[in-house]
Amino acid sequence: MPDRPMIAIENVSRFYASYRALDDVSLEIGAGEFFSLLGPSGCGKTTLLRLIAGFDVPTSGEIRIDGVTSTLLPANRRPTNMVFQNYAIFPHLDVGENVAYGLKRLKLDAAEERRRVSDALDQVRLTGLDRRKATELSGGQRQRVALARALVMRPKVLLLDEPLSALDKKLREEMQVELRSLQKAVGITFVLVTHDQYEALALSDRIAVMFGGRIAQVATPKEIYQHPRTRKVADFLGGMNFLGARLVAERGSDVAVETARFGTIRLERPKGFAAPDGRVTVGIRPERLRLLWDDERAPHELVGRVENRAYFGEVTHLTIGVDGLEKPLSMIETNDYGADDLPLGAEIRLAYDPEAFVLLAEDGVGR
């Protein structure tokens, strides 16, 4: 939990007729935090961002920004500024006029206004481009203008609505690094909406994963990747092998489950976990399974055969059939030892670490 919440969302819902775009969401975002709202399209992440910006009003619940109740405050009176998905650069103004747009209302003297505009352009590395026409900008430049236009207002919170989705892959990765260092430099709260799990993992201090108008989990990138709370969260954040298991013992904060082929596994019991019929799901990430070569041995081994293989350059994705398992396992292996040359049907041994398993709650249970 953040020390001082910059944004407090309390039991906020937004219904459109009978459609629940947001369903009783509560969340605190700390001052200076880089916070991401992650989820598939239609999960309510953009609705939540627009409620924070003031473009929409919740059906119920309360929003406080920097301690001020802002639920009904219009967008033009909030200390938040937004970078739009399509950037919304004013087409009839040049770069400098775009950046100065919000400053005009502050009635600064001309020199001060010029200074703030050029500082903002420096910040996003567009120095000297202030006379460039809005219609003559590249995608990356438009994004920087949108950033500068928002930052020049010195907001307490910067809201970013899928700001990188319109850029090609290489530029997107560059901008990710830049966004992160920009946030560290200006030190204000960033709230990013994205459907790209890698973007959320790479940029954020904390991530809220959303499905169907609800928050499924809020945690740091590492925590959310390594200890996803539910099957859906695990699935959304990269690959995961799911295994059916049976609860055999519960002791304090630990549980023991019995799985086919992997045997009995001890796991930490997640908060609010319940399995009334004793059936549970456990998961292990593909990269936590490892091929054993030649006479290499491991404390926990399993025998299988290669059913499918996909070459990804630096790694190879393997599908391994194991007798006694319902579904084949997927694993990711570096190509250092020749995983990319394994013939289909080849018998292999794989090693696993029982510590790498996570116990997953069924979705919608235990919230």
Q: Give the separation between CA 136 and CA 73, rounded to whole angstroms.
A: 35
Among 14, 149, 206, 288, binds other proteins (CB under 8 A): 149
Judged by beta carbon, residue 166 or residue 351, the one nearer other proteins is 166
Cα dihedral 156/161/163/164 (nearest 10): 130
Pairing of strands 189-194, 34-38: parallel
Strand partners, 246: 258, 279
- Under rule CB under 8 A, residue 76 binds other proteins: yes
Query: Is the Cβ–Cβ distance between 238 and 330 less than 8 Å?
Result: no
Query: Is the Cβ–Cβ distance between 117 and 106 less than 8 Å?
Result: no
Query: Is the Cβ–Cβ distance between 145 and 100 less than 8 Å?
Result: no
Give which of 191, 186, 182 is closest to 48, Cα–Cα. Answer: 191
- Under rule CB under 8 A, residue 202 binds other proteins: no
Which residues neighbour 137 within 8 Å (Cβ) at sequence distance 6 or greater?
A: 89, 95, 145
Cβ of residue 75: shortest distance to other proteins, in angstroms?
Answer: 4
Considering only residues 29 to 58 of the shown chain, the ones binding other proteins according to CB under 8 A are 53-55
Cβ of residue 91: shortest distance to other proteins, in angstroms?
Answer: 4
- Phi first, then psi: give them for residue 343, nearest 5 degrees: -75, 150
- Under rule CB under 8 A, residue 112 binds other proteins: no
Cβ of residue 293: shortest distance to other proteins, in angstroms?
Answer: 46
- Under rule CB under 8 A, residue 16 binds other proteins: no
Give which of 224, 231, 216 is closest to 367, Cα–Cα. Answer: 216
- Under rule CB under 8 A, residue 189 binds other proteins: no
Which segment (64-72, 100-108, 238-246, 321-329) binds other proteins by CB under 8 A?
Answer: 100-108
- Under rule CB under 8 A, residue 101 binds other proteins: yes
Judged by beta carbon, residue 193 or residue 233, the one nearer other proteins is 193
- # residues contacting other proteins (CB under 8 A): 30
Cβ of residue 22: shortest distance to other proteins, in angstroms?
Answer: 19
Judged by beta carbon, residue 88 or residue 202, the one nearer other proteins is 88
Give which of 194, 241, 152 is closest to 45, Cα–Cα. Answer: 194
Judged by beta carbon, residue 106 or residue 310, the one nearer other proteins is 106
- Under rule CB under 8 A, residue 89 binds other proteins: yes
Cβ of residue 193: shortest distance to other proteins, in angstroms?
Answer: 14
Cβ of residue 167: shortest distance to other proteins, in angstroms?
Answer: 8
Give which of 275, 278, 283 is closest to 242, Cα–Cα. Answer: 283
Q: Give the separation between CA 284 and CA 331, rounded to whole angstroms.
A: 10
Cβ atoms within 10 A of the Cβ of 80, count? Answer: 25
Burial of 255 (0-12, 13-18, 19+ CB in 10 A): buried
Cβ of residue 151: shortest distance to other proteins, in angstroms?
Answer: 11
Among 31, 73, 166, 351, binds other proteins (CB under 8 A): 166
Cβ of residue 24: shortest distance to other proteins, in angstroms?
Answer: 26
- Under rule CB under 8 A, residue 80 binds other proteins: yes
Judged by beta carbon, residue 173 or residue 258, the one nearer other proteins is 173
**Which stretches of the chain bind other proteins, using CB under 8 A?**
53-55, 74-77, 80-82, 84-86, 88-92, 101-102, 105-106, 134-135, 139, 149-150, 153, 166-167
